[in-house]
Amino acid sequence: MSNINIDSEKARTFDAIVIGSGASGGWAAKELAEKGLKTLVLERGRPVEHVKDYPTTNMYPYEFEHRNQLTFKEQEENPIAASCYAYREDAKHFFVKDKEHPYVQEKPFDWIRGYQVGGKSLMWARQTQRWSDFDFEGPARDGFAVDWPIRYADIAPWYSHVERFAGISGNRDGLAELPDGDFLPAFPLNAVEDHFRKTVKEKYQGRHIISARCAHLSKPNQTHIDQGRVQCQNRILCQRGCPFGGYFSSNSSTLPWAQKTGNMTLRPFSVVHSILYDEAKGRATGVKVIDTNSKEEIDFFAPVIFINASALNTNLILLNSISSRFPQGLGNDNGLLGKYIAFHNYTAVITAEYDGLLQYKTDGRNPAGGGYIPRFRNVYKQETDFLRGYAAGFGASRAEVRDTSATGEALIENLLNPQLGPWRVNSHMMGETIPKESNHIRLDTQQKDDWGVPLLRISIDYDENDRKLRQDYYEQMSEMFQNAGFTNIKTHDDNRRPGNDIHEMGGVRMGHDPKTSLLNKWNQLHLCKNVFITDGACMTSTGTQNPTLTYMALAARAVDYAVKEMKKNGLKG
6 has a pLDDT exceeding 80: no
Q: What does the mean pLDDT of the chain come to?
A: 96
As a whole number of angstroms, the longest Cα–Cα distance in the chain is: 86
Q: What is the edge-to-edge ordering of all strands in the sheet holding 104-105?
A: 104-105, 454-459, 440-448
101: nearest Cα among 313, 336, 396: 313
3-state secondary structure of 30: helix
535 CB-near residues (< 8 Å, 6+ apart): 20, 22, 24, 25, 307, 308, 309, 310, 311, 314, 551, 555
CA separation, residue 470 to residues 392, 477, 491 (Å): 11, 11, 10
pTM of the predicted structure, to 2 decimals: 0.96
Region 545-560: mean pLDDT is 98
User: Other CB atoms closer than 10 Å to residue 230's CB: what's the count?
Assistant: 15
3-state secondary structure of 174: coil
403 has a pLDDT exceeding 90: no
Half-sphere exposure of 502 (CA within 13 A, CB side): 21
Region 485-506: mean pLDDT is 96
**Cα 388 from Cα 384, distance rounded (Å):** 9
CATH number for 8-131+249-342+435-461+504-573 (one of 3.90.1640.10, 3.40.50.2300, 3.50.50.60, 3.30.930.10): it is: 3.50.50.60
175: nearest Cα among 214, 206, 213: 206
Return the DSSP state at 233.
-
Q: What percent of the residues of the chain are helix, what percent strand, and what percent coil, each to the nearest 5?
A: 25, 25, 50
DSSP conformation letters of 528-565: EEEEEE-SGGG-S---SS-SHHHHHHHHHHHHHHHHHH
Note the pLDDT tens digit of each residue in 87-116.
999 999 999 999 999 999 999 999 999 999
User: CB–CB of 192/426 below 8 Å?
Assistant: no
Domain ranges in the chain are 8-131+249-342+435-461+504-573, 186-211+347-387+389-433+462-497
**Cα 270 from Cα 452, distance rounded (Å):** 13
**Residue 152 or 7, more confident:** 152
1 has a pLDDT exceeding 60: no
- H or E stretch at 266: strand 264-267
Identity of the amino acid at 208: H
Note the pLDDT tens digit of each residue in 125-141.
999 999 999 999 999 99
Whole-number pLDDT of residue 8: 83
